[in-house]
Structure 1
Amino acid sequence: MYFYAARQPILDKDKNLFAYELLFRDSIDNVFPDIDGDEATTKMIEASKFNLGIGEFTGNKPAFINFTLETLSLGYANMLTTDEVVVEILETVKPGKKLLAICKDLYEQGYTLALDDYEHQKVWVHFFPYIKIIKIDWKISTIEEIKEVKQAIVNFPDIKLLAEKVETYDEYNQALELGFELFQGFFFAKPEMIKTKSLSPSQIAMAELLYETSKPELDLISITAVFERDVTLSYKLLRYVNSAIFRRSNEISSIKQALVTLGSQELKRFLGLMFAINVNPDKPSELINSAMARAKFCELVAKDISAPIDSSIAFLTGLLSLIDAILDEKLETVLEKLPLSQEIKDPLLTKKGVLAELIQLLEFIEHAQWDKTTIVMKKLGIAKEKVIKDYNQALSWADEQSQMTNGK
């Protein structure tokens, strides 16, 4: 059984990752809300507890999971620990004595409770002592409605407001000014502003290396020369090669030996990650994590599509699919600065071809638009079970890489 869910990041006001919301689907063919809410929550708990493991899917961050009154009554929230779940009470649940008693009990056990898509009613004030997070749909709520909620919780300082469906930096900044502390949406995955940004010498060196490694045949002499011109990059290479995952019979005595130890595939992966991580350290870590996950997904799927493509090319294309947001520049401007092969540039710029369709498939999965994923998978000739398996594996790999590069 595969875990059919998308995870959407929830960031704090400093754009650090706070948690993920897990958006469940019965399978890739089904589109919520055709699935009964009780059934959706039941299968989410089953899949996360007994199959994949919720921590693997969320990188050990808390998971917001929707609960109906029925699933709360059955005690499903208690199947997960207080550290791994935020109990999100669906907007369709009516406030009443039974729900109030459940909320009080969960609160006393140490669970974090959230109200989903909140629209203020006075009766909810009785629940506020047990609620930590109130989610407000940014797309449908007016400023007046938001201010009404703020006034209602003024005596409950522990309650945080979460703005969901925040898609632009203007919306993020507006919500920030209104006192929101948590944000859900893909505003961080779009360029914050269009501006000119020069690359540092180290970043230029990495761009050169990306170009070299995108060639069918590696030129070891040229690649070694670039590393030898950049002390910082050489240090990172040697530190990476020193990892326990590489079995070395001898100590490394030269840059060339380090490159040979890594091998072609691992070198390409290392360079891609270093470029994405270091090109703009001020960007949210979740953006870099998303780029890594895209890269790994494209690499895994590349060999299974009806017209297989080079996995190294697929990896770099996936990695660079968010480079405009990482650098806060137009994609065209960014790619002009990078000496990459047209095999990588073309799908990103023209949105055409197999690699472009892979990126589109990823975007649909990230937004849990499962009906659209089915169309793209048919075009690419990929089995849905393989897509979900590779997507889950890519997320886990990206989380591991992120922890390793951040020294955690």
Structure 2
Amino acid sequence: MNFYAARQPILDRDKALVGYELLFRDGIDNVFPQINGDEATSRLIEGSQFTFGLEELTGNKPAYINFTLETLAKGYASMMGNEEIVVEILETVQPGKRLLAITQELKEKGYTIALDDYHHQNVWRHFFPHIDIIKIDCLTSSKEHILEVIEAIKPYPHIKLLAEKVETHEQYQQAMDLGFTYFQGYFFSKPEMVQSKALPPSELTLAELLYETSTADMDLEKITRVFERDVNLSYKLLRYSNSAMFKRRAEISTIKQALVVLGAGEIKKFLSLLFTAQLSSDKPAELMHLSLTRARFSEVLAEQNPGGVDSGRAFLTSMMSLLDAILDQDMSEVVERLPLATDIKSALSEREGDLGQYINLVEQYEQAKWQDANSTIEALKLDPNKVPDAYHEAISWAKEQMDAIS
């Protein structure tokens, strides 16, 4: 039986990752209303604890998990450590003595408690001493409502506000101005138009190499010459080819030999990873992590579908799919300056072709849009039973790569 879950990053005011909200669905075809909250929470906890591993889903960051009154009463929250999760009390739970007692008990055990999609009622003031985070929906909450909440929690300075469903720069800026501490939403996967960033020489060299390796027939001699004129890249190539994952019978003595040892597939992966890592060096690490997850997810799916998209091109395209957010520019402007193959450019800027569909699919997974994901899976002729495992494998692989980079 497959375990289906997606996750959405939660960032602080510096855009540093502080946790993930875990999103559950019962299979790729499921629509949320067909599953009640009790079952969703129960199966999410079961899957994350016994099927996949919570630390693999969240990279050892706290998991924000929704709880109904029933699942709280059954003690499901305490099945996980108080540093592993943030207990989100669903907006559908009515405040009462039973809930207050459970909240007090969890707080005494050291758990972080959040009120999800909060709508202010005076009765919640009894809970405020035990509440750490209040989540407010930026799409449905007026500024007046937010100011009312801010006024209500003034006597409780330990309570932090989390803006969820942040989808525009205006919503993000308003939340910042109002003093929100945490942020969650699709805006953080989109460009934040602040300033233009030029590519320094090393990035231009990498972009040239990416183009050379994206062609069907790689020109090894030409690629070797590009590496040989950049000592920094050559050093990183040799370090990478010297890692334990590549078994060799003899020591590497030339750049060309290192490239041969790696092979075309690993060269493409190495270059796209290095390019994205260098560009995102002054950006939140989560952008790099998302890029890696997207790349590996698409690569695995392409490998499972022989005769379709080349797995190396799928990896490269999805790795590049967050360049707009990394460079703070519109994607169409970004691809104009990169010497990438035409179909890769079209996939990045217009979501055209199968490569564009792979990007659509990973974004649908990130946002738990399961119906859209199912349509995309069908269009790509993928096996729907293998897609969740590919996503989980991609998350684990991305974490390993981030650990290696750091």
- Please say if residues 63 and 84 of structure 2, whose CA atoms lie closer than 8 Å, have aligned partners that are also in contact: yes
Q: Residues 261-314 of structure 1: CA distance to partner in whole angstroms, max 9, x if unpaired?
A: 222211110100111111242222212211111111111111334851211111
Q: Which residue of 2 aligns with 1:142?
A: 142
Closer, same or farther: CA 27–336 of 1 in aligned 2, 3 Å: same
Q: Residues 24-71 of structure 1: CA distance to partner in whole angstroms, max 9, x if unpaired?
A: 011111111221110111101111111001111111111001000000
- Please say if residues 347 and 355 of structure 1, whose CA atoms lie closer than 8 Å, have aligned partners that are also in contact: yes
Deviates more, 1:297-306 or 1:12-21: 297-306
Q: Which residue of 2 aligns with 1:221?
A: 221
Matched letter for residue 121 of structure 1: Q
Matched letter for residue 186 of structure 1: Y
- Please say if residues 167 and 187 of structure 2, whose CA atoms lie closer than 8 Å, have aligned partners that are also in contact: yes
Q: Residues 121-172 of structure 1: CA distance to partner in whole angstroms, max 9, x if unpaired?
A: 1111111111111100011111111111111111222211000000123321
Instruction: State the alpha-carbon separation in 2 of the partners of residues 98 and 207 from structure 1.
Output: 60
- 1:370 lines up with 2:370 in the alignment: yes
Matched letter for residue 383 of structure 1: D
Instruction: State the alpha-carbon separation in 1 of the partners of residues 286 and 73 from structure 2.
Output: 34
Matched letter for residue 45 of structure 1: I
Q: Which residue of 2 aligns with 1:203?
A: 203
Q: Residues 372-407 of structure 1: CA distance to partner in whole angstroms, max 9, x if unpaired?
A: 11112122221221111111111111122122112x
Q: Which residue of 2 aligns with 1:124?
A: 124
- 1:68 lines up with 2:75 in the alignment: no
Q: Residues 328-347 of structure 1: CA distance to partner in whole angstroms, max 9, x if unpaired?
A: 22222211211111231222
Tell me the secondary structure at the aligned position of residue 385 of structure 2.
Answer: helix
- 1:171 lines up with 2:166 in the alignment: no
- Please say if residues 306 and 381 of structure 1, whose CA atoms lie closer than 8 Å, have aligned partners that are also in contact: no
Q: Which residue of 1 aligns with 2:18?
A: 18
Deviates more, 1:27-36 or 1:254-263: 254-263
Closer, same or farther: CA 243–157 of 1 in aligned 2, 3 Å: farther
- Please say if residues 88 and 114 of structure 1, whose CA atoms lie closer than 8 Å, have aligned partners that are also in contact: yes
Deviates more, 1:42-51 or 1:355-364: 355-364
Closer, same or farther: CA 170–239 of 1 in aligned 2, 3 Å: farther
- Please say if residues 280 and 288 of structure 2, whose CA atoms lie closer than 8 Å, have aligned partners that are also in contact: no
Deviates more, 1:70-79 or 1:167-176: 167-176
- Please say if residues 64 and 85 of structure 1, whose CA atoms lie closer than 8 Å, have aligned partners that are also in contact: yes
Matched letter for residue 201 of structure 1: P
Tell me the secondary structure at the aligned position of residue 384 of structure 1.
Answer: coil
User: What displacement does 1:251 show?
Assistant: 3.3
Deviates more, 1:333-342 or 1:112-121: 333-342
Instruction: State the alpha-carbon separation in 2 of the partners of residues 13 and 330 from structure 1.
Output: 23
Instruction: State the alpha-carbon separation in 2 of the partners of residues 332 and 139 from structure 1.
Output: 27
- Please say if residues 194 and 330 of structure 1, whose CA atoms lie closer than 8 Å, have aligned partners that are also in contact: no
Q: Residues 216-269 of structure 1: CA distance to partner in whole angstroms, max 9, x if unpaired?
A: 222222212211222222222222223222223333333223222222211110
Closer, same or farther: CA 256–305 of 1 in aligned 2, 3 Å: closer
User: What displacement does 1:83 show?
Assistant: 1.6
Matched letter for residue 303 of structure 1: E
Give the alignment of 1:342-361 within 5 angstroms: 342-361=342-361
Tell me the secondary structure at the aligned position of residue 386 of structure 2.
Answer: helix
Deviates more, 1:29-38 or 1:187-196: 187-196
- 1:186 lines up with 2:186 in the alignment: yes
Q: Residues 170-212 of structure 1: CA distance to partner in whole angstroms, max 9, x if unpaired?
A: 3212111101000000222111117543211100010011011
Matched letter for residue 162 of structure 1: L
Matched letter for residue 104 of structure 2: K
User: What displacement does 1:325 show?
Assistant: 1.8
Instruction: State the alpha-carbon separation in 2 of the partners of residues 218 and 314 from structure 1.
Output: 16
- Please say if residues 196 and 327 of structure 2, whose CA atoms lie closer than 8 Å, have aligned partners that are also in contact: no
Tell me the secondary structure at the aligned position of residue 33 of structure 2.
Answer: coil
Tell me the secondary structure at the aligned position of residue 139 of structure 2.
Answer: coil
Instruction: State the alpha-carbon separation in 1 of the partners of residues 42 and 323 from structure 2.
Output: 38
User: What displacement does 1:316 show?
Assistant: 0.8
User: What displacement does 1:350 show?
Assistant: 3.6
Q: Which residue of 2 aligns with 1:384?
A: 384
- 1:154 lines up with 2:188 in the alignment: no
Instruction: State the alpha-carbon separation in 2 of the partners of residues 352 and 404 from structure 1.
Output: 33
Unaligned stretches of 5+ residues in structure 2? none
- Please say if residues 343 and 353 of structure 2, whose CA atoms lie closer than 8 Å, have aligned partners that are also in contact: no
Instruction: State the alpha-carbon separation in 2 of the partners of residues 380 and 268 from structure 1.
Output: 23
Matched letter for residue 103 of structure 2: C
Matched letter for residue 19 of structure 2: A
Identity of aligned residues (%): 57
Matched letter for residue 334 of structure 1: V
Aligned residues: 406
Instruction: State the alpha-carbon separation in 2 of the partners of residues 159 and 326 from structure 1.
Output: 31
- Please say if residues 169 and 188 of structure 1, whose CA atoms lie closer than 8 Å, have aligned partners that are also in contact: no
- Please say if residues 306 and 382 of structure 1, whose CA atoms lie closer than 8 Å, have aligned partners that are also in contact: no
Instruction: State the alpha-carbon separation in 2 of the partners of residues 79 and 197 from structure 1.
Output: 47
- Please say if residues 86 and 114 of structure 2, whose CA atoms lie closer than 8 Å, have aligned partners that are also in contact: yes
Q: Which residue of 1 aligns with 2:266?
A: 266
TM-score, structure 1 as length reference: 0.96
Closer, same or farther: CA 333–109 of 1 in aligned 2, 3 Å: same
Q: Which residue of 1 aligns with 2:238?
A: 238
Matched letter for residue 384 of structure 2: K
Instruction: State the alpha-carbon separation in 2 of the partners of residues 194 and 62 from structure 1.
Output: 30
- Please say if residues 280 and 287 of structure 2, whose CA atoms lie closer than 8 Å, have aligned partners that are also in contact: no
Q: Which residue of 1 aligns with 2:331?
A: 331
- 1:40 lines up with 2:40 in the alignment: yes
Tell me the secondary structure at the aligned position of residue 286 of structure 1.
Answer: helix
